[in-house]
Structure 1
Amino acid sequence: MAIAKHGQFQAAADELEISQQAVSKRIAVLERYLEVVLLVRHSRGSRLSPDGQAFLPHAKEVLTAVERSERAVRPGSRPLRVDVLNRRIAPAQAVYRFYRSHPGMDLDAVALADENAAGAARAVLEGTIDASFRALAVDQIPDGITAERILDTPLELLVGPGHPLADAARARPADLVGHRIWIPGIKPGTAWSAFYQAVSEAFGLSIDALGPHFGDEALMDALADSPSLATLVGGGDRYLWPQIHDLRRIPLHEPTPVYPHVLLSRDGDRHPVLTALRDHLRTSMARTPDDAWAPSPLGMPA
């Protein structure tokens, strides 16, 4: 490619920072391997033979593929792939705020189909993604994974205007005893399932995950129409509903149950965007409430 560009062996050697003799030897080896003449020498330099002209575009494709493969693995040369689990919940919002405050940082926010925390950890190890936000027990963190509890999401009660707690400024978990809490779509065996099971057992709550989940809009409709139905959402979760629904978000306290999002990444990953994201989360996230409660052993790494 260099000889084709310059038309001279010496100019190609200068560009490649090798000797003209080395260029000549490499061309000779390539021509012997292909059993064709690629370059025709003349008094002013060299020109491509017909076989050389046919070979040149393929040579360009090969070198382009090599460059792409190097960029794919070199730290900072490709977007950071972050699994946010669900684009409406706190990790996705945190990553979005990071992206907005760090223009030029190249990242992709993805949501893995596998909602299991152990599956997300495997995806990080295998390189399918670079990082993931999950709640993972200490004994489930595989070798080769760095886990840092970096984002605690306080739970809030979400109710319609006819609910008995609709006008409360705050509520305690104990105040929810006897109320029906519906969280459709929780899949058995996931970290979400383990978390809400622990919440239910710790505070004596009735958390119902039964029935089909027709989406967040259908859940909002059901809350607005019911004088008894409630659900739990994260303090940083983003939900939209019609103004006429008049839904109320009520913070919980004494204690404040928090969902402990752990940032999973590969040991020794030097991607600069990952370093910047981790620093951003450490310095910008809201302080965990003094009365925070999280189930053990979920989210224990600090």
Structure 2
Amino acid sequence: MDTEALRSFVRAAELGQVRQAADELGVTQQAVSKRIAALERELEVRLFTRTPRGVELTLDGQAFLPHARDVVAGVDRALTAVRPGSRALRIDVLGLRSAQAVVLHDYWRSRPGTDLDVVTLRVNDPAVAVAAVRSGEVDASFRTPTDPAALPDDVRMIHAFDSPLELLVGPRHPLAAARRVTPARLRGHRIWVPGIAPGSEWAEFYDQLAAAFGLRVDAAGPNFGDEVLLDTLAESADVATLVGARDRYLWPAHHDLRRIPVAGPTLAYPLSLLLPRADPHPGLRDLVTHLESLPGLPGEVWRPSWATRAAQGAGEAGALRA
């Protein structure tokens, strides 16, 4: 079915005038009349009757109008979806309570007119994120492949921001009363991070963290979700975990969990942004500028070795803004 004929029918029905519809659509009155006549032939019904004041819908026209509107609206949405200058900026984050989502929310609040679509890919795998960026499923992704050299030529990675870690413990934990702790003070304590996928960026991060400071990182057991983790911390006198300082966690008041900053050095998880090299969404320029404006972490900071390789892509951000 000719969607332009549907559009002509809808505007003529809404305005009650074929001439006005033609003026709005930027075509001649004759063109609109021909489109509507062709539509009536295809449907084998009369959609309008002519009156001295213009046109009025027949009963068939009244029945057809809401469906025609839906089709025209769907076509408009489809066209918008493939026009980078007009569709929403679609960004993948690890979770809607993650540091990436918090930073994106701050960005949106500073630019409330921004059309932003925040999504989470179903599989927590940087390779899946790379494929999503390449296919256009998302415009960018906050994922960090630990080997930037293995990225395909049409995808680049820039440093987004560093996420400092905090110790999260229950009220019975030996460190619960501490106002801050050093990494050295965590030695001997069980740091439970369940569900770390082998070969993932998180696995390499915690492997390097444990080796650098002699920590006991326990990845035993499947990840049953934040609620189970928080319940376990509240009940335990020896289990702790590490969380991002910007990550949002909610727990019942009686859990009385404590978030304790880690410093001397600060433990930083470097977050990166994957984006296409060619024809990036125009909205990415402002987002990258916002990320660059975020303050750095003060004092001594520990980062994994692959953070240096990831940060090398940050120099390419200037090309994106140009």
Greater share of residues in helix = 2
Residues 112-138 of structure 1, C-alpha deviation per residue, up to 9 Å, x if partnerless? 111011211211111111221112231
- Alpha-carbon contact 2:89-2:281 (below 8 Å) kept: no
Distance, in Å, in 2 between the alignment partners of 1:215 and 1:4 is: 53
| 1:172/1:252 contact within 8 Å kept | yes
Alignment counterpart, residue 117 of structure 2, candidates 99, 108, 119: 108
1:240-261 Cα deviation digits (max 9, x unpaired): 2233333222222232221111
* Kept in 2: contact 1:80–1:107 (CA 8 A): yes
User: Aligned pair 1:128/2:137, yes or no?
Assistant: yes
The corresponding residue for 2:301 is 292
Distance in 2 separating the partners of 1:286 and 1:136: 24
Structure 1 pair 104–7 and aligned structure 2 pair: CA distance change class (3 A): closer
1:91–1:151: 8 Å Cα contact kept in structure 2?
no
Aligned twin of 2:280: 269
Distance in 2 separating the partners of 1:225 and 1:14: 71
Determine helix, strand or coil for the equivalent of 1:121.
helix
Q: Does the Cα contact within 8 Å between 1:147 and 1:263 map onto a contact in 2?
A: yes
1:72 aligned partner, one-letter code: A
Q: Deviation at 1:181?
A: 0.8
- Residue equivalent to 1:188: 198
Equivalent of 2:90 in 66, 81, 94: 81
Using the alignment, how far apart are the partners of 2:170 and 2:18 within structure 1?
Answer: 79
Q: Which amino acid aligns with 2:88?
A: P
Q: Percent identity?
A: 49
Report the Cα distance in structure 1 between the residues aligned to 2:211 and 2:224, rounded to whole angstroms.
Answer: 27
Aligned-CA RMSD value: 3.7
1:232 to 237, 242, 248: 242
The size of the alignment, in residue pairs, is: 299
SS in 2 for 1:134: coil
Q: TM-score, normalised by structure 2?
A: 0.74
Task: Quote the residue 1:98 is aligned against.
Answer: 107
1:67 matched to 2:107 = no
What SS does structure 2 have at the residue aligned with 1:119?
Answer: helix
> Per-residue displacement from partner, 1:57-80 (whole Å, max 9, x unpaired)?
698776555433321111242222
- Out of 105-114 and 245-254, give the one that drifted further: 245-254
* Residue 224 (structure 2) aligned to one of 198, 214, 217: 214
- Unmatched 5+ residue regions in structure 1? none
Note if contact 1:198-1:295 (Cα within 8 Å) is conserved in structure 2. yes
For the 8 Å contact 1:149–1:263, the answer to whether it is kept is yes
- Judge conservation of contact 1:135–1:259 (CA < 8 Å) in 2: no
Q: Is the 8 A contact 1:116 1:189 kept in 2?
A: no
Query: By how many angstroms is 1:210 displaced?
Result: 0.5
